[in-house]
Structure 1
């Protein structure tokens, strides 16, 4: 038994380089000490926190405890650290934690979490997690409001054994506010990208833009303008929220939605803006007076609203700051979004908002392109409809998409009668032998001719009323694959 006082040290040395751990039998063989003595010293080392026990199947496996001096851990980590005893009294707390909580050690040490009522971890949810810790550490997320801003933390509750063998736990809180904000912004951009792709045509896209920007700002005092390229002016299209809009109506004596502002005024006095400045994010401070920028709210309103009413708006809604961003894509301006903030408020998610507005600008550009195409197609159809020459359009799938009035006057058929080429051939050429000849000629000519080339043929056509007419067909393939055909009645 002379070697027993050194047994603890020999056990620790034996475990030091054993990453897979050792059983009591392994340690007995390694140290040359009986199993009973090894077991006794392992109990002492475990209570003192120098070894850890894990049960693997039916075997008890021991490992050296991964210990860091608590004083070093408290001083050099950026995380918030609170050490609790078995009764959840605060034993130690690091300076980072004291600074965030705005408390002193004298306020906290020796008191329980419930007594000190710490904003981050004295909530019922956090206390429930701490109460539930046993042998395994627990990880959970917490959040709390400070100075009107939400802070997010990830809290680890780690079972702890003190040198005297008493049990307790260590709370390690890592601030993850920026990480959470980044994830929220990515989710926001992914969601709105899908929404913009699938946004129904009848949806007011300017109102939609205002609603989504409102999700990322402290207070929903937002407007969205469109840009009228022909008349060179901004047009107020949407105002968020309802209380803000109703207050503006009361002050102005009219609904501000629909107001126009001269775009070209930006490039003259007093603004002297460049195109780059117009489209990029800008901030203008009105209050407090000591931080006031070069432009007043009266200037920002293009001096279109009386100065006294501008001051009344600032007072009514406690506006201290104005931020605006251009709706732009590929050097084209589609409008502007304005955000009003109270003195001291800031726009934290600027990059996410700018990215969303680029997405929205692309959606507006796509809408405008589609609208121009629709109007161009409508004009084309109106011109054909007014023409005295019978005409039709057949799409690439063989469906009639348009018959002008002259076509119906000549043949008597409407789109309901001949929705596809198959119905047309069946009714216009009822004789199957003759119809086969006509279809073969149509297919042969179509295969040989290129886009824009006329394929002139004359066939006998049976009309809706049963009359048969000689018709000269002039079909041509358009660049989009559709067939444009004109018809002329000829002498038999």
Structure 2
């Protein structure tokens, strides 16, 4: 009997050293007892939960149950443990659970979980898991919401067998709220990190950062400020928050909050953005860098019922690029503090990169603009050089200026200093706008002379060689168009500011350009306009000089053409550039017959010997006489009709190497001379 009583312990010792398990036969053989006895005791041990059994084919394989006594289990774990019987009555709870639930054992033991009205485990989700529990344990995440927030638990429902063989259930609850949040936070930061990475140049990163911060800490206002190092100011790039709070703030401070700028040169204000963590900020007056009246700041705080503001610097690579501010109701706790700080650090790097990228793009844009400007000026310079006199240079100037300032109307004027008047030579811009303008002012402008004295009275600064501003359309038209018409035109066409630039040269001002913007804002491309105006000034001077020269040449040729003496103009390279009518009448040759000196000598001196002699004499006389001194020589020249004439040549070399040659027919004079010489000789013989 003693051996039979000790048999359960012997069976447990045998199984302890066979972790893979033993069959009934193996246990009986090892202990030297019958199979029936071993089988009976194994069933009792299984019911007691001390052994586990697995079915392998027809055989049952027994092993020690890996279980810990409930008393020990309840003590060493930090989780919340509730043990239920088959009727879901509470059998046992551990101390951690009692402290967490703020309940005593007397309140819970013997009650069902529905009667105890326990949080979390009495929820429909938890009850569904418990009621559906079978042989295997079940793990489920339970969400529980209460007034102070949202909490998460992981619940393990474990089938349990008591020592008396009764079935039950052990609930193990682990508070995973914080874990659910370093996961939620990581998901948030992963998403924002992707968003920062995928942003393009059109996305407003400051608005994005402010909006995400407001999502994490909803309250009154959230703002993002950026430092402009060149001007030493802090600019509020984005402000997000409660619309009422924003409206009240703007009402009291008297301006739009977004875009406000504050100086940061003072040590006490600059220090506000040097925080690497969220810190509670000073009152609104100091937050506004003392740029807003203190009374107005106090009114804003009173209207909000008190404001607590938290600040944190945007720090990247050890450098402050700006700050963020969060304003909430005074006395309330700032939520998601750790996540906000992590996000601000993440945003600081993204904003710093954004600023660097923007600067790089701006630098590249400036370089590209400079290249475009150089190409523009290079093209216009070549156009001015190659421009024929038949081209309307004034309209060309207006077109190119309109290329530089598309939203404008361009007026190109010339100045006649002798007549003391100015005239509009070209009006360029949108055709419909020009027609509306001319309809309002009642004139087409082109060709109308305006007295110079009125232009001076208008204050347009005609003596300057820089871009000047013309205050109104009335001034642009030099007070020659009724002022009420000018005001009407400005209103109907929505005209903006006006600018002017003179055409200046060595001789003074030859005209000007007037630019009237058809949009608000300032004049762009000033440097290019200045350079182009200088080009145009030179081109107009060249055209005027060329016109004067052409008129002078025409007068000179008219004089030569009316001369009774034959004359020719020969360039320094031997080309005949002009023959007067008397030359053609005398010799019969035209410019087509003798385009060069070589052609002249070949036709006028067909005999080679005579030709070489004439050429040699011509060269010798030219070298000996020099510029400005006439040379007289007489040659026998063959005309186009084959007749020969005795011609007295009178060539004069001008200062530029050109030769002006006159030709006198002395054939009859020589014939008479030879006759007289013959008669005199005959008389002497007699």
Q: Which secondary structure state, in structure 1, belongs to the residue aligned with residue 164 of structure 2?
A: coil
The yes-or-no answer on 1:323 pairing with 2:321 is no
Mapped to 1, the partners of 2:94 and 2:292 lie a distance apart of 56
The yes-or-no answer on 1:188 pairing with 2:188 is yes
How far 1:389 sits from its partner (Å)? 8.3
Give CA deviations for 1:457-488 in whole Å, capped at 9, x if unaligned. xxxxxxxxxxxxxxxxxxxxxxxxxxxxxxxx
User: TM-score scaled to structure 1, two decimals?
Assistant: 0.69
Alignment of 1:199-238 (within 5 A): 199-217=199-217, 221-238=221-238
Give CA deviations for 1:245-298 in whole Å, capped at 9, x if unaligned. 345446556542222233233x13xx6838xx714224227xxxxxxxxx3343
Find the counterpart in structure 1 of residue 261 from structure 2. Answer: 260
Give unpaired runs (5+ residues) of structure 2. 387-686
Mapped to 2, the partners of 1:15 and 1:410 lie a distance apart of 111
Find the counterpart in structure 1 of residue 333 from structure 2. Answer: 345
Give CA deviations for 1:222-267 in whole Å, capped at 9, x if unaligned. 22222222332222232333444345446556542222233233x1
Query: Taking structure 1 as reference, are residues 272 and 263 closer, same or farther at Cα in structure 2, changes over 3 Å only?
Result: closer
Alignment of 1:67-466 (within 5 A): 67-146=67-146, 148-217=148-217, 221-243=221-243, 244-246=245-247, 248-249=249-250, 252=253, 254-265=255-266, 267-268=267-268, 273=271, 278-284=274-280, 295-307=282-294, 309-314=296-301, 317=304, 321-342=308-329, 343-350=331-338, 352-387=339-374
Q: Which secondary structure state, in structure 2, belongs to the residue aligned with residue 33 of structure 1?
A: coil
Query: Taking structure 1 as reference, are residues 299 and 77 closer, same or farther at Cα in structure 2, changes over 3 Å only?
Result: same
Please tell me whether the aligned partners of residues 159 and 167 of structure 1 are also in contact (alpha carbons under 8 angstroms): yes
How far 1:134 sits from its partner (Å)? 1.5
Larger radius of gyration: 2
Give unpaired runs (5+ residues) of structure 1. 286-294, 392-403, 412-492
Mapped to 2, the partners of 1:191 and 1:339 lie a distance apart of 22
Find the counterpart in structure 1 of residue 642 from structure 2. Answer: none
Mapped to 2, the partners of 1:89 and 1:262 lie a distance apart of 70
Query: Taking structure 1 as reference, are residues 66 and 235 closer, same or farther at Cα in structure 2, changes over 3 Å only?
Result: same
Which one has a larger percent helix, Structure 1 or Structure 2? 2
Q: Which secondary structure state, in structure 2, belongs to the residue aligned with residue 387 of structure 1?
A: helix
How far 1:86 sits from its partner (Å)? 0.9
Stretches of 4+ moved more than 6 A in 1?
388-391, 404-411
How far 1:9 sits from its partner (Å)? 1.8
User: TM-score scaled to structure 2, two decimals?
Assistant: 0.51
Which protein, 1 or 2, shows the higher relative CO under an 8 Å CA cutoff with sep ≥ 6? 1
Give CA deviations for 1:278-337 in whole Å, capped at 9, x if unaligned. 14224227xxxxxxxxx3343333234444554554455565632211112123332211
Give CA deviations for 1:395-423 in whole Å, capped at 9, x if unaligned. xxxxxxxxx77799999xxxxxxxxxxxx
Q: Which secondary structure state, in structure 1, belongs to the residue aligned with residue 271 of structure 2?
A: coil
How far 1:84 sits from its partner (Å)? 0.9
Query: Taking structure 1 as reference, are residues 144 and 306 closer, same or farther at Cα in structure 2, changes over 3 Å only?
Result: farther
Query: Taking structure 1 as reference, are residues 29 and 122 closer, same or farther at Cα in structure 2, changes over 3 Å only?
Result: same
Q: Which secondary structure state, in structure 1, belongs to the residue aligned with residue 172 of structure 2?
A: strand
Mapped to 1, the partners of 2:172 and 2:114 lie a distance apart of 18
Mapped to 2, the partners of 1:315 and 1:116 lie a distance apart of 47
Query: Taking structure 1 as reference, are residues 298 and 59 closer, same or farther at Cα in structure 2, changes over 3 Å only?
Result: farther
